[in-house]
Amino acid sequence: MKNFIRTTLTGRATLLSATLVATTFLASVFSTASLADYSEHPEAGAFVDTMVDDHQFDRQQVLTWLAYAQHQKSIVKAMSRPAEKAKPWHEYRKIFVTETRANRGLEFWKENRATLEKAELEFGVDAAIIVSIIGVETNYGRNTGSYKVIDALTTLAFDYYTYTEKRESRKRFFTIQLENLLLLAREQNQDPLELKGSYAGAMGWGQFMPNSYRDYAVDYDGDGFADIWTNPTDAIGSVANYFTKHGWKKDQPVATRAYIETTPSKEGLNKMKRPTATLGDLIAQGYKPVEEFAPDSKAFPMSFKAKYGTEYWIGLHNFYVIGRYNPRTKYAMAVYQLSELMRNRICESDQNC
Ligand SMILES: [Ca+2]
């Protein structure tokens, strides 16, 4: 992904038609968002240049879209306190690892059995994990997000990570997402002002960011359109493709509960990086895994705040791959545990495990 942040703001157009300004003003009056015109924002000039110079967009068209994009205070608030940060594990778990979500997952599984079987064969990714991702992300398509993606990405790139929490790498990331949103909309012949998603700009059943949508979404029902907006078949293929491209290993374990008698070293704990230690190393440090796996398996230790005390777990390579979807240990653990809950339900009913 190339860096298009530039140091100059040359070529920046500032004039908008009177009609557009009037319409923008009216739109703002009737919106809960604060009045902001991103075409006038100091960060916009370099972005517009990139869209024009690198992607041959019409300058006035890009400025018009940015003029309609609105700063959303609720996004700034949500970004400051995401559930993964704010809630301890035992509360976070109650949102995602529930009987209701498992039952809905099993319904989704039943309705899409043939597609899931095809995806398992083709991509080597467990159906339980694919279903669980779609369940945790959007409750099986029920909640794909109600923010305009262009509002989310301009708010995050141009304001939140520029001023509120100044972080150049995140600002760059969200500016690249904005670039990809406009490219995606053009490729799909859609109006970028109409595309909806989460407060972070994630879209559709699998909550793909715009660059992931362009890189990993697949047309899995063969109608010529990779549609994760509304099509569960394409969503399943796309999630499976994402996992396989990020290194999922077929039929390999994800994680195991572990016990430890001493106080564990903080080193490497809860680090969602590609694991370099082995299970054998962790056993030597005093971890006692509940399930047995090959001692040379790559592994890393995790701790979770339970209602009473601390739970220890060992994440294996595939746990890290779940983290490539969202790099927080609580997120990946929720996906894993929901997948196990569904798998156990199937075992109980089919007696086929
Ligand atoms: Ca399709």
Residue 57 belongs to a domain with what CATH number?
A: 1.10.8.350
Q: Is 2 exposed, middle or buried (0-12, 13-18, 19+ CB in 10 A)?
A: exposed
The candidate with the shortest Cα–Cα distance to 301, out of 289, 293, 292, 318, is: 289
Closest Cα partner for 338 from 322, 321, 320, 314?
Answer: 322
Residue 141 has pLDDT above 70, yes or no: yes
Length of the chain: 353
How far apart are the CA of 245 and the centre of ligand 1, in A? 19
Higher pLDDT, 94 or 19: 94
Q: Whole-prediction pTM value? A: 0.88
Q: Within a 13 Å sphere around the CA of 195, how many CA atoms are in the beta-carbon half?
A: 31
84: annotated active-site residue: no
- C-alpha of residue 189 to centroid of ligand 1, in Å: 15
Indicate the pLDDT class of residue 36, thresholds 50, 70 and 90: low
Q: Given the residues 137, 261, 291, 311, select the one marked as catalytic.
A: 137
- Does residue 195 contact residue 154 with C-beta atoms inside 8 Å? no
Q: Which residues contact 224 (CB under 8 A, 6 or more apart)?
A: none
Q: Two tokens at 346?
A: 């199937």
Residue 152 in domain: yes
CA-based diameter of the chain, in Å?
A: 71
Rg (CA), the chain: 22
Percent of the chain with pLDDT over 90: 82
Q: Where are the alpha helices (DSSP H) in 55-145?
A: 59-68, 73-80, 83-86, 89-96, 99-111, 113-123, 127-138
Give residue 2's pLDDT.
32
In which domain, by residue range, is 25 found?
18-70+148-190
Task: Answer yes or no: is 129 within a domain.
Answer: no
Distance (Å) from CA 307 to ligand 1 centroid: 44
Q: Into how many domains does the chain fold?
A: 1
Interior/surface letters 71-92, b for 16+ CB within 10 angstroms, e for the rest: bbeebbebbeeeeeeebebeeb
- The pLDDT > 70 percentage for the chain reads 89
**Which residues share a beta bridge with 147?**
197
**Residue 323 phi, psi (nearest 5):** -65, -15
Q: Is 209 part of any domain?
A: no
Spatial CB neighbours of 41, under 8 Å, sequence gap ≥ 6: 66, 154, 158, 159
Inside any domain, residue 160: yes
Expressed in angstroms and rounded, the spacing between residue 225 Cα and the centre of ligand 1 is 4
Distance 209 CA to ligand 1 centre (A): 18
d(CA 223, ligand 1 centre) in Å: 5
pLDDT in tens, 230-289: 999 999 999 999 999 999 999 999 999 999 988 888 888 999 999 999 999 999 999 999
pLDDT digits (tens, 9 = 90+) for 161-220: 999 999 999 999 999 999 999 999 999 999 999 999 999 999 999 999 999 999 999 999
Residue 342 lies inside a defined structural domain of this protein? no
Q: Measured in Å, how far apart are the chain's first and last C-alpha atoms? A: 43
